[in-house]
Structure 1
Amino acid sequence: MSAADLARLQFAATTGIHWLFVILTMGLVPIVAIMHTRAAFTRDPATRAVRERMTRFWGQLYVINYAVGIVTGLVMEFQFGLSWSGLSKFAGNVFGAPLALETLIAFFAESTFLGMWIFGWGRLRRGVHVTLIWLVALTAYASGYWILIANGFMQHPVGYEVRDGAAYLTDFGALLTNSSALMALFHLSLGALTTGGCFVAGVSAWHYLRGTKETELFRPSLKLGLWVSTVASFFVVVVGEMQRPIIERTQPMKDAVLENSGVAEVQAQLVKEHGPGNYVPWQDTMRISMDVMTLIGNTVSTITFIALILLWKNRLMRWRWASWILVATIPFPFIASVGGWIVREVGRQPWIVYGELTVEDALSHVGKTSLLLSCILFIAIFVALAVTNWTLITKFALRGPDATQLGVSEPLPDDLPEGPAGSADEKQPVPAL
């Protein structure tokens, strides 16, 4: 493999694994926020207690995924300087600000709000506490917006001019309203909600298969997960098709490969515009990825819609085969999202900034040995983190609400009841050493 192939493999593997964390985070947090909102504004104490347990159970799974996933996000920034210094030199003046804002939002604002929500159980007013989880959701999607603004410039550069071999921003508004970024954000947001809904529905169905007694907790969870995944999976297919005119206009070769028509004509046109070179990406990889994404999207939409109908009169709970299908559906949206990412990124090759900078020109002057070692090291670390994440999620998901630790803590010293003499309860003195 060449140095460029190693650098691409490293970035593809690490970004792909990181995306598996991100899509579940973005999919779960709105669902947890909805659960918490319903719990906070429920008047009946018994119902409120069940809904709070539901929020804490799903919230703990979300926190696990976020905590482990945030580590993988740190590496993304370093790879630009490590392997793609040419990209930073050419486009850093344009998407340096969006990347910085994404980092500030994800690693400061979002994590701060989440920390306050985690430790706010029993210490904050219900309205304030609910507001915090909605702020976490808002900042999660804001983070996704800024990263796609940067990626959108690489897919379809707008609002810039090139001076002395570097791109300079001339129209910030055009950058923020790039159609390649906005439509992709809409598409991946719906994909994330599909992922989160299928996860909640699948885990809930698993507990029904085990004969859970927590029906007051898992039936509403199952219903909410199915509603979210049914609606989101339907529209994710629609929005996916809405991207085709944008792709046809901005990346004709990608469109030609996906349509399996006119590839030679587009190749000749691009040679005329940009000079000699091979402008055809990996056709089989793109078509297979596109077919997998489309097939899974339609399958998940059908399964969740039928399951939502079977939920009426509890047929879904009585028919074990239907619950097993929901459990088996959990990984499908993850696979589809990776397929979509492959289509988006591979399809613009050989460009790293479409029409302006090729992959070869963006590559850092790093030896193959260094790239090979860093590639092996990063992929090994990311795989280990992914295995750790899903081991913890599976462990706590299967244990059920009784094993939930989120929101359960010992009272602080100031919260201890006072004794009859008005002083704190007696404690055993600490012996002097």
Structure 2
Amino acid sequence: MADPPALARIQFAVTTTFHFLFVLLTLGLVVLVAIMQTRYAITGKSEHRRATRFFGKLYVVNYALGIATGIVMEFQFGLTWSGLSTYAGDVFGAPLAIETLVAFFLESTFLGLWIFGWDRLNKWVHLALIWLTAATAFASAFWIMVSNAFLQNPVGYELRDGVLRLTDFGALLRNPTLTDAVLHLSSAALATGGFFVAGVSAWHFLRRTKDIVLFKRTIRLGLIASTVGMYGVISYGFEQYGVLKNVQPAKVADPDDLPALTDRLGADNMPPGWIHVPRDVMVNMGFTLALVSLVALLLTIGNLVVRLRFPLVVLLVVVPVPFAAAICGWLLREEGRQPWLINGVLRTADGMSPVGAGSVLASLIGFSALFVLLALADWILIARLAGRGPEPEQAPAPVREPAIVL
């Protein structure tokens, strides 16, 4: 049986990866749903309303099941990584508390009002709710990344009475490993949402949909989002190299440079030798997705993307690729920090809770099974809803003016 730290790392990797896939689609899709509803609020055209409600349902399903994966992941800080919580909870936990108490609860409240506010709220109030949902979703991701940036490059603390104490909250926000990482993640989410919307639209065109006007608009919107997102992914991805060469040089080093780095840093301070594999796969996927998105967007001129049909097949096939690239990126960010839980401050083995291998293995099996079931439920529900298509065209229910004022 593997040692407890190894099992605990595998467990956290599994739960984080699954949760990250939900988050990635949630962040990107909510922006596109908000844009669709903005179009409807301005123009009053039924296809924008139907598109908003159609992709809004897919967003809500993904969001709801993603919450369950996030709750399970949070429990592991106390169950498996109590050493991290005890040693650095005063610093590491502060942004997480802000994320939970402010961003997450606000996001859930705004989303609930949006879901039940159709045809009950003033259209501009209802529109504001989905944009507030999007804003708080990205705020939530920001605070998560503030905590993660501290693990990558610890700042704003001092060692007092054997534990880390927060001395400069602003330093957490100025962390050089934070800004480009947040922009890189946000761009990846936008691109993922764009490819998802374009892929679903392509599927309906391949099935000879009658909603030609609706899906022509959504496939173009998806491709614009994916093209802009991939430009940001590539730009902010390479922007991080300069900082990483200073704080985590082995993460971005070429294989030929690793022997010299090993001599300088010590073999015990080096990440796994395979870390360049997910990095190279991510980069190649990124450039491929950027090319596919740009070419498909250009083919929307004259409606060639639909008339040629082969681009529709490509757009459908590449829907999972942004998720795979994101997993590679997360592996690079987290495994590239090993063997440190807090880079240069706390080793991963020292952050482990005093639990036996059997207990960790049992929770690993249980959590993995639960997450696989949640992921399957998510994908099956989304596939079924996406396959049914938008609701039939009908006039919206009248709304009395002035409507409810929040």
TM-score band, normalised by shorter chain: over 0.9
Residue in 2 that maps onto 1:71: 68
2:365 to 362, 376, 383: 376
Tell me, yes or no, if the aligned pair for 1:396 and 1:403 is still in contact at 8 Å: no
Residue in 1 that maps onto 2:402: none
Unaligned runs of 5+ in 2: 400-406
Matches of residues 12-411 of structure 1 in structure 2 within 5 Å? 12-42=13-43, 45=44, 48-256=45-253, 259-271=254-266, 278-284=268-274, 286-402=275-391
Q: Secondary structure at the match of 1:349?
A: coil
Structure 1 residue 145, shift from structure 2 partner: 0.5
One-letter code aligned to 1:279: N
Structure (1 or 2) with the larger CA radius of gyration: 1
1:211 and 1:251 map into 2 onto residues whose CA distance is: 51
Greater Cα offset, 105-114 or 16-25: 105-114
Deviation sequence 1:200-230 (CA, Å, 0-9, x none): 0011011001000101211100000000101
Tell me the percent identity.
51
Structure 1 residue 102, shift from structure 2 partner: 1.2
1:283 and 1:245 map into 2 onto residues whose CA distance is: 21
One-letter code aligned to 1:158: V
Structure 1 residue 106, shift from structure 2 partner: 4.8
Residue in 2 that maps onto 1:6: 7
Deviation sequence 1:135-192 (CA, Å, 0-9, x none): 0000000000000110000000011111122111111111112121221110010000
One-letter code aligned to 1:395: R
Structure 1 residue 252, shift from structure 2 partner: 1.9
One-letter code aligned to 1:13: V
Greater Cα offset, 99-108 or 63-72: 99-108
1:376 and 1:358 map into 2 onto residues whose CA distance is: 25
Structure 1 residue 70, shift from structure 2 partner: 0.6
One-letter code aligned to 1:235: G
Greater Cα offset, 170-179 or 392-401: 170-179
Deviation sequence 1:268-319 (CA, Å, 0-9, x none): 3334xxxxx61222122x1110111111111111011111111111111111
Q: Secondary structure at the match of 1:167?
A: strand
1:15 and 1:56 map into 2 onto residues whose CA distance is: 29
Tell me, yes or no, if the aligned pair for 2:34 and 2:130 is still in contact at 8 Å: yes
2:197 and 2:259 map into 1 onto residues whose CA distance is: 46
Tell me, yes or no, if the aligned pair for 1:25 and 1:62 is still in contact at 8 Å: yes
One-letter code aligned to 1:185: V
Structure 1: 4+ residue segments shifted above 3 A: none
Unaligned runs of 5+ in 1: 272-276, 412-433
Tell me, yes or no, if the aligned pair for 1:105 and 1:142 is still in contact at 8 Å: no
Structure 1 residue 408, shift from structure 2 partner: 9.1
One-letter code aligned to 1:293: M
So what's the TM-score if we normalise by structure 2? 0.95
2:392 and 2:167 map into 1 onto residues whose CA distance is: 54
Report the aligned-residue RMSD.
Answer: 1.6
1:238 and 1:261 map into 2 onto residues whose CA distance is: 25
1:28 and 1:227 map into 2 onto residues whose CA distance is: 13
1:172 and 1:237 map into 2 onto residues whose CA distance is: 30
Deviation sequence 1:244-277 (CA, Å, 0-9, x none): 0110011122233xx2233233233334xxxxx6
Tell me, yes or no, if the aligned pair for 2:104 and 2:137 is still in contact at 8 Å: no
Q: Secondary structure at the match of 2:337?
A: coil
One-letter code aligned to 1:209: L
Q: Secondary structure at the match of 1:123?
A: coil
